[in-house]
Amino acid sequence: MGGDTPRIGVLALQGDVREHRLVLERLGAEVVDVRRPSELATVDGLVLPGGESSAIDKLARRFGMQEPIRTAIAGGLPVYGTCAGLILLADRVIGAIDGQQTFGGLDVTVTRNAFGAQAESFEADLDVEGWDRPVRAAFIRAPVVTQVGAGVRALATLPGGEVVAVEAGNLLGTAFHPEVSGDARFHERFLERVRAAPRRR
């Protein structure tokens, strides 16, 4: 691979790993599944996919991934979390199951399953700060950001005012699934952040 080709890991413990891989590969990234600390150490950026946040949390601890991911986030590794991935980046979670933990690093409070069960899934057109056309966003058992800390930028809100996309430093999070709707602009935004960050390899 060329020197400018970012190597992106997708945390492949549970969730929609394949969909993220396809989008990132179309955008020219080298993509690898990450299940072990040794694999995490080889990537320039990490995607935390949608899925079941409590299951990903349990598997991350079982595979010895929790602390390495926390350390990587604190060290500046660019990380993009979608849906469950946003929950895993949040410092605070409302509606977490007993014992559920997160990787943290993003000074927000999120509410799990804010819109109800799978049957309440929906799509919406979202205006994103600085973009000239809306994003078609798929919300599937989605969280919302209910509190935004200092230094966190809200990028998109629903018509009711619910914050559903945020960024801060090396971290980007969306409550929805752009890898499902076919709009790659959030992945492009993530890759721009990866290319601008100091390489770890």
What residue type is 61 in one-letter code? R
Active-site annotation holds for 83: yes
What residue type is 85 in one-letter code? G
Q: Are 176 and 164 in contact (CB under 8 A)?
A: yes
Active-site annotation holds for 177: yes
DSSP state of 120: G
Catalytic residue chosen out of the listed positions 177, 187, 188, 192: 177
- Which secondary structure element, helix H or strand E, spans residue 109, and what is its range? strand 106-111
Active-site annotation holds for 179: yes
Catalytic residue chosen out of the listed positions 20, 83, 167, 187: 83
Catalytic residue chosen out of the listed positions 20, 167, 179, 187: 179
What residue type is 128 in one-letter code? V
What residue type is 190 in one-letter code? F
Pick from 110, 122, 119: nearest CA to 163:
110
Residue 173 sits at φ, ψ, to 5 deg, of -145, 140
CB atoms within 10 A of CB 35: 17
Catalytic residue annotation: 83, 177, 179
